[in-house]
Chain A
C-alpha cells in the first residue's frame, strides 16, 4: 500500500491560517489502512481544528468527508457539491490524491495534510516498512524476492558494501542489510549462483528519472 503519515498539527494550522471554511477530505483506501488519512483521522483532525479555533476565538467552519479513493474521478465527484461552499480543501490522501483534487477543482486552494512516505507493507501492528520504489523495471526475481534497489541504502546491485555488519546496514542498527537478506534467501532456495554474474547498470529510464510516467492500457481505454 501507499504509506503516509499525517503532518504535525502545527504545520497544518499554519497552512490554514486566514481561511474560514475548510473541507477536510479523507481517503478510504491506502492511507486509511495506515492510520494517516481515513475517516477516523478526518474526524480527529476536524476536532483538533475546531478546538484550536475556539481557543483562539476564531470563526472556523470545518466539514468532514471521506471518499473511497481520491485517485479516481468517480469518487472525487462526490465532493463537487461541497467544494463550491468552502475556501480550502484539505486533502488527507497521498500526494496523488491531493493533486487529483487540485486538477478537478482548479479554482480551489487544495492543501495536503499527509506526508506520503513510501510503498510498504504492514510489518507488524503499527509498523510499516518500505518495500518498493516503483522503478518500473522489477528485478526482484533475481534477488530471492528482496529488492536491492529499495532496501539497500545505496541501491547496490552487485552485493553489499563494506558497511554490512551482523546483518545490519551501516546507516542505522535498526535497518537490516538488504544484501544479507538477499544472501540468506538465495542460500535457502539454492540460488546463490545468481550472485556470481555482474549485474549491469540499471535502466533508470523506466523510473521517475525518465520523466513523469504514464501507464496506458490500450484494451481498457474508451
Chain B
C-alpha cells in the first residue's frame, strides 16, 4: 500500500519510451522494407544479359589491307591502318556523342558529321566539341594468323602490330 506516485509515473515513462522505441523501430523497418522493394524494382530495369555484338572479333588477315592504307570497317565501327611501321586500329565512334567519324584524306585526319569535331591522324581531338581522343583498340593475331580486335582493351597511340 501507499505506493508512491512517482513509481507509477516512472513505470508509465518506461512504457512510454518502450512504446516510442517500438513505434520508431516498426516505422523504420517498414520504411527500410519499402526502400528495399523500390531498389530491387529499379535494379530489375538494369539488364544482366545483353544480346549485343561481341567485343572480341576477327577482321581478316593482314593481306586484306593494302600497304599504306586507311580502311573503314563499317560493321565494327573502326578504322584499320596499315602503315610501314605496322597495323593499328582506331575506333570510329566520336567521343563527343557517338556518331561515326569519317576519314578525311585531304587533311589526313577524322571529321565528325554530327557536331563538327575534328581529330588528327592519330585520333587526337584538335577542334570542335569532342572532349577526348578516339579510342585505340588492342590488335593481335589468333591461332589462324587472323587479326583479332578486342574493344574491351584500349591501347596507347604508340601501339603497332608488326606483320
A and B interact: no
